[in-house]
Amino acid sequence: MRRSLIAVALAVAAPLHAQGLMADLHGDVRDVQQKFIALAKAIPESAYGWRPGAGVRSVGEVVMHVTSENYFIPISMGKPAPAETGMKDGDFKSIDAYVGRVRSKDQMVADLEASFTHLHQAMALTTDQNLGEHIKMFGQDFTRQKAMVLTVTHLHEHLGQMIAYARSNGIVPPWSK
């Protein structure tokens, strides 16, 4: 039952009007989403504190970083973060506070799943027609297109990180079995 609900959510994540570049970006984010969530679920909770070295994010911190960015980046796109996250535009301390919350693995995975839904809703505010529109992101001038590229590359960066973390802990990514 749970798997079918996730499949339905993923199938409807891209808005019907998305075509061209934005449809491709939604599809790419859905692919990263599926893999990232699968890894987050496959890695045991006992490994969520594992980190490859001092000063490097742990497994759980990477999950929460991606979750927080899936809420924070959309603020610049015109989609406020949910009130319960406490995140506000330009307030980087609010990200730290969110990431620093003590959460179980199940809570982190649930938060991660919800954050991807939020991200797709925010992405729906960008269309192929308004990609050139200027927005403020991280206090800098961005086009919506640049924000989309940053969003997608950021997710791929951390998917690669999670794959390396999983393999370092003897876990084969579920889609590689």
For the chain, the domains span 21-176
pLDDT in tens, 73-97: 999 899 999 999 988 877 789 888 8
What is the architecture, at CATH level 2, of domain 21-176?
A: Up-down Bundle (1.20)
CA distance 80 to 8: 24
For the entire predicted model, the pTM comes to 0.86
Q: What is the DSSP letter of 143?
A: E
Q: Give the HSE-up count for residue 2: Cα atoms under 13 Å, Cβ half-sphere.
A: 3
Q: What are phi and psi of 123, to 5 degrees?
A: -60, -30
- The amino acid occupying position 11 is A
User: Which of 163, 173, 164, 151 is CA-nearest to residue 74?
Assistant: 151
For the stretch 33-44, pLDDT in tens is 999 999 999 999
Whether 9 has a pLDDT exceeding 50, the answer reads: no
